[in-house]
Every structure is written in structure tokens, then in C-alpha cells.
Amino acid sequence: MVQQIQLIQVTPEELQQAILSGVKQQLESLAQNFQPKEPTQYLTRNEVADLLKVNLCTISIWTKKRKLRSYGIGSRVYYKRHEIEQSLIPLNE
């Protein structure tokens, strides 16, 4: 069943303004709620060690203790930057 809308006593300019107003509101709502997805940044063991100011042995120990989660392709080991940042815990002072 097709719905029909009849516009009585509405000028084309008023209709155009109503449509533009509705579209503008929707675009503003979308702009407020839209957050572009950032691509995942992968770091090597050396980059993680430099970032955290520790040596490679510490990175290996933290990985074995599952404090850091590693990913691999072939013999290469990578870490996700956002997971490294999330693994940092606040200290209560």
C-alpha cells in the first residue's frame, strides 16, 4: 500500500525550505555523532620498547606474562598501539 501525502496551501518555496530544514537537521545530528574510525597502528618490538622506555627483554617478559598481547606474521612480532596504551594502568598517589 502506497502512502500519499497531499500538500494544501503550501508554496513550492515553503516546501523547499521545509525539506532543506529537515536535511540540515539530519546532517547536524550525523556530524555530532560521527567519529571516523582510525586504522589500527601496528608496532614492532623495538618500537614498543622505545615507546615504553624499556629494553627488549622486558617486552618479552611482559608478553609471556600476558601483560602485552602480541600478533605475528611469519617470524615477525607486532603489537597494536591502542592495546599498548590501554595496558598502562593509573597509579594511585
Rounded distance, CA 48 to CA 41, Å?
12
Q: What is the pLDDT of residue 30?
A: 85
Rounded distance, CA 54 to CA 46, Å?
10
Q: What is the pLDDT of residue 93?
A: 65
Q: What is the pLDDT of residues 12-53, one digit of tens each?
A: 888 899 889 989 999 988 888 877 778 899 999 999 999 999
Q: What is the pLDDT of residue 45?
A: 96
Report whether 70 contacts 78 (CB < 8 A): yes
For residue 51, what are the contacts with CB-CB under 8 A and spacing of at least 6?
A: 43, 84
Q: Which segments of the chain does DSSP mark as H helices, in order?
A: 12-33, 45-52, 56-64, 81-87
